[in-house]
Amino acid sequence: MATADLPGPRWAAGATLLVTGGGAGIGAALCRAFTAAGGEVINLGRTPAQGPGVRNHLVDLGDRDALDSVLNSVLAELEDTGAPVRYLVNNASLRRVQPLGGADRAHWQETFEVNLFAPMELCRTVGDRLPSGGAIVNVSSGAARHLSAGTAAYAASQAALEAASTVLARELAGRQVRVNTVAPGPTSTPGLRRAVERGQSLDEAGLAGRIPLGRLGAAEEIAAVIMFLLSPASGFVTGQVLPANGGL
Ligand SMILES: NC(=O)c1ccc[n+]([C@@H]2O[C@H](COP(=O)([O-])OP(=O)(O)OC[C@H]3O[C@@H](n4cnc5c(N)ncnc54)[C@H](OP(=O)(O)O)[C@@H]3O)[C@@H](O)[C@H]2O)c1
């Protein structure tokens, strides 16, 4: 976009977004926002995403063979429809709290498989084919900077995702494809509620008390930041990590 015009409400019309983990939380809010902006969504996840304009390919991103096979089907489907993916959002992740003594090689492997290796495989196979004007957003976590006990693998995987995203931004810039990262703070989602139930996180009131804005984020608020980074409104923004965390 050569001018400073803001995109209209249907800026995504005719475009396809590939998202991971669109079945719940931030990913589900993103599916709703993107289809409301006129686009189509392909969701790769364990749980189907709902709503018109969404196609689902169910897969556990931690299962490398299953992911390879689903990616082949998605690429074949895209070739058939002749409507290439324009946007990629790596949203799903695995957060398990495990203190050092229990953090064996399998724990690190599982965490990195979902949080770094799967997103990088998607960037390689899908992201590398994005047309000029396309964009990738990877979702990391404030946990990469606000470090707490038991999260070594999770925090390290999110920090690695941020570093890799910035490198990919440099590699794809020449093709006018942008790559950015959103780092959410505590956000009210099924994933966070599960962590609270398992005693792996402060409860919502405890978390809210630590956040300068005094409340948790809503999934829709994080989705709105991702939408901004996909849209032409952020056409001069690439290689950045954008925290969305109420001021933490
Ligand atoms: N919520 C927060 O406070 C917060 C804070 C910082 C960062 N984040 C990041 O934001 C992103 C979204 O979080 P969220 O809170 O929206 O999570 P969520 O409510 O748990 O939703 C995540 C979605 O991704 C799917 N998913 C997870 N692991 C998967 C796997 N291995 N294979 C396929 N699908 C998988 C889940 O499937 P199921 O429905 O089957 O579980 C679910 O549909 C994550 O990267 C997370 O690290 C969230």
**What CATH number does the domain containing 216 carry?**
3.40.50.720
Cβ–Cβ contacts within 10 Å for residue 79, how many?
10
> The pTM is what?
0.97
Active site residue 154: yes
Instruction: Flag whether 141 is in a domain.
Output: yes
Q: What pLDDT does residue 6 have? A: 85
State the distance from the centre of ligand 1 to the C-alpha of 3, rounded, in angstroms: 36
CA distance between the termini of the chain: 33
Task: State the distance from the centre of ligand 1 to the C-alpha of 170, rounded, in angstroms.
Answer: 27
- Of the residues 152, 154, 158, 201, only one is catalytic, namely 154
Alpha carbon distance 131, 123 (integer Å): 13
* Protein residue with least CA distance to atom 17, ligand 1: 191
The pLDDT value recorded for residue 83 is 81
Measured CA distances, 234 to 129, 174, 229 (Å): 20, 17, 5
Ligand 1 centroid vs 97 CA: distance in angstroms? 15
Mutate to test the pocket of ligand 1, among 60, 93, 165, 226 (most ligand atoms within 8 A of CB): 93
Task: Calculate what percentage of the chain has a pLDDT beyond 70.
Answer: 98
Establish if 5 belongs to a structural domain.
no
Sheet of 16-20: strand order equals 54-58, 40-45, 16-20, 85-90, 135-139, 178-184, 241-244
Q: Taking a C-beta distance cutoff of 8 angstroms, is the pair 116, 92 a contact? A: no
Enumerate residues 6+ apart whose C-beta is below 8 A from 82: none
What is the structure's pLDDT at 1?
Answer: 52
Of the pLDDT bands very low, low, confident and very high (cuts 50, 70, 90), residue 4 is: low
CA torsion 42-96-113-223 (nearest 10°) is 30
Mean pLDDT of the region 36-57: 97
Residue 135 lies in domain: 16-244
Flag whether 8 is in a domain: no
Is residue 213 domain-resident? yes
> Does residue 175 belong to any structural domain of this protein?
yes
Asked whether residue 120 is domain-assigned, the answer is: yes
The 10s digit of each residue's pLDDT in 127-186 is 989 999 999 999 999 999 999 999 999 999 999 999 999 999 999 999 999 999 999 999
- The DSSP line for 163-218 is HHHHHHHHHHGGGT-EEEEEEE-SEESHHHHHHHHTTSS--HHHHHHHSTTSSPEE
Task: Please give the pLDDT value at position 5.
Answer: 75
Number of structural domains found in the chain: 1
Q: Is 128 in the pocket of ligand 1 (CB under 6 A)?
A: no
Look at residue 3 and tell me if it is in a domain.
no
Region 114-138: what's the mean pLDDT?
96
Model confidence pLDDT, tens digit, residues 89-110: 999 999 999 999 999 999 999 9
Q: What are phi and psi of 125, to 5 degrees?
A: -85, -40
Residue 47 C-alpha from the chain's centroid: 15
Query: Band of the pLDDT at 230, cuts 50, 70, 90?
Result: very high
List, in order, residues 6 or more apart from 227 with CB less than 8 Å away.
30, 33, 34, 37
* Residue 11 within a domain: no
CA 204/CA 202 separation, integer angstroms: 7
